[in-house]
Amino acid sequence: MIGRLNHIAIAVPDLAAASETYSTTLGAKVSQPIDEPDHGVTVVFVELPNTKIELLLPLGEDSPIANFLERNPGGGIHHVCYEVDDILAARDKLKAEGARVLGDGEPKIGAHGKPVLFLHPKDFLGTLVELEQA
Ligand code: CO
């Protein structure tokens, strides 16, 4: 059911330092920081040949990554995002298998303008999973 790895999101306490690590130390191509107020994050996209890394810094009062950074002050992998062809079909299959979909279970428009859902980390080996309709 899941297809390509769309991105791995890493929450970071210092976006400039994280960008520098990826651009200089690791030699990757990084974007300028982009504020996404609707999603409560500022993002730097790291482009790799086969996928993307998203470096996330909390933005605003109710950032969805604020609690994560409190528990992981040095940063850490926040979620992985897999592509699916049909997000509603994927959701219904997962719910039938007993997996928990976060929020109200309805897809939201994600950071790339496409429908996304998040799945409970306790059902997926301790990893928050984002599904994006490709
Ligand atoms: Co994501």
Please name which of 76, 70, 10 lies closest in space to residue 42, comparing C-alpha atoms. Answer: 10
Q: What is the mean pLDDT of the segment spanning 112-131?
A: 96
The alpha carbon of 86 and the centre of ligand 1 are apart by a number of angstroms equal to 17
For the stretch 33-52, pLDDT in tens is 999 998 899 999 999 999 99
Domains and CATH numbers, the chain: 5-133 (3.10.180.10)
- The single-letter DSSP state of residue 101 is B
For the stretch 49-69, pLDDT in tens is 999 999 999 999 889 999 999
Asked if pLDDT for residue 32 goes beyond 90, the answer is: yes
The alpha carbon of 98 and the centre of ligand 1 are apart by a number of angstroms equal to 23
Contact (CB, 8 A) for 13 and 58: no
Of the chain, the percentage scoring pLDDT greater than 70 comes to 100
Question: How many whole angstroms separate alpha carbon 30 and alpha carbon 52?
Answer: 10
The alpha carbon of 7 and the centre of ligand 1 are apart by a number of angstroms equal to 7
Question: How many whole angstroms separate alpha carbon 64 and alpha carbon 58?
Answer: 8
Q: What is the mean pLDDT of the segment spanning 86-115?
A: 94
Asked if pLDDT for residue 111 goes beyond 90, the answer is: no
- Is 130 part of the annotated catalytic residue set? yes
Q: What is the mean pLDDT of the segment spanning 109-128?
A: 94
Give strand ranges (E) for the chain: 5-11, 29-30, 34-36, 41-47, 52-58, 76-84, 108-109, 115-119, 129-133
Which entry of 61, 83, 97, 130 is annotated as an active-site residue? 130
Q: What is the mean pLDDT of the segment spanning 70-75?
A: 96
DSSP sequence for 93-115: HHHHTTPPBSTTSS-EE-TTSSE
Residue matched to tokens 């210092």: 14
Residue matched to tokens 């897999």: 82
pTM: 0.94
Asked if pLDDT for residue 112 goes beyond 90, the answer is: no
The alpha carbon of 117 and the centre of ligand 1 are apart by a number of angstroms equal to 10
